A and B are shown apart, each in its own frame.
Chain A
């Protein structure tokens, strides 16, 4: 879930999530549409809704297990919770349905019920699951986000992050996470907020297909130098984004085809005077900031 983003009276974003920073790095025009004006393509929310329920369920499963519940008990609790939270289901995506959501949660918890990685217990005695964080980048800028789970695996600490995808998950899939904005921010947060020597992010990816869900686990490692470099770069990109309004939110036309095409591709390929009309036709505005 996206943290609350804070804005200065002159319109500068002061609290940055990995999501908003990633979009700002991609393209200032995309940032203007998606973050400043909160346009979202109709139908795109299915992935967010599915991924949100899925991540919530697995976080709760680990929480119940850390609190002493056995596998069957914890699984029953999260299936009940998810059935209730996902009702009524309104989208008509062919693979991301309520049934495949429940199937994916059952299959994941079966697959990893005897997982060697353990949920870290924080100094306050609570399991390190569903953690929201805010950290100061400098006097003006804060970074914010949410961590699914912190784990201890083979003697090392990792942030665990759940991903769902429609495509096949192989070793190449995990290459996208190094370098990667979100994985660097999560690692920084683990080190700064909870003072743990976090080595990186353990990505549990689920391929959601009509007839099956397949799981693969991969890692995104970060050295201290990589994190320091990422923090320097993040500040640069944020300051550059603050200046983008004066320049009319310039378009980065070399990023339009990234990841199968920017959602605003069919807006930016129109003449400027008709773009607003096209936005209103195929996009909807999310609630105001």
Chain B
């Protein structure tokens, strides 16, 4: 778990009424980044290109 993920996990365990505006912004920023990461890693199937094994010298 990265430092950032640990910080976010700790914020989720805190009494929410004691969270500052900055704490909530940290949570939102973390979630926005995880969405960007997911969007980059989770390409739709249609965008994936077939691999030519002959061209790669594997056949």
Contacts and interface: CB of A to CB of B under 8 A. Distances in A.
B19 A83 contact: yes
A163 interface: no
Nearest to A84: B16
Interface residues of B, number: 18
B21 interface: yes
Given A103-B31, A212-B42, A79 B12 contact: no
Interface residues of A, number: 16
24 contacts: A75-B28, A79-B24, A80-B16, A80-B19, A83-B16, A83-B19, A83-B24, A87-B15, A87-B16, A98-B12, A102-B12, A102-B27, A102-B31, A103-B31, A103-B35, A106-B28, A106-B31, A106-B32, A106-B35, A107-B31, A110-B32, A110-B35, A212-B38, A212-B42
- What does DSSP make chain B's interface, helix, strand, loop or mixed? helix
Nearest to A76: B24
Interface of B: 8-9, 12, 15-17, 19, 21, 24-25, 27-28, 31-32, 34-35, 38, 42
Interface in A140-176: none
Interface of A: 75-76, 79-80, 83-84, 87, 98-99, 102-103, 106-107, 110, 211-212
- What does DSSP make chain A's interface, helix, strand, loop or mixed? helix
Contacts of B9: 99
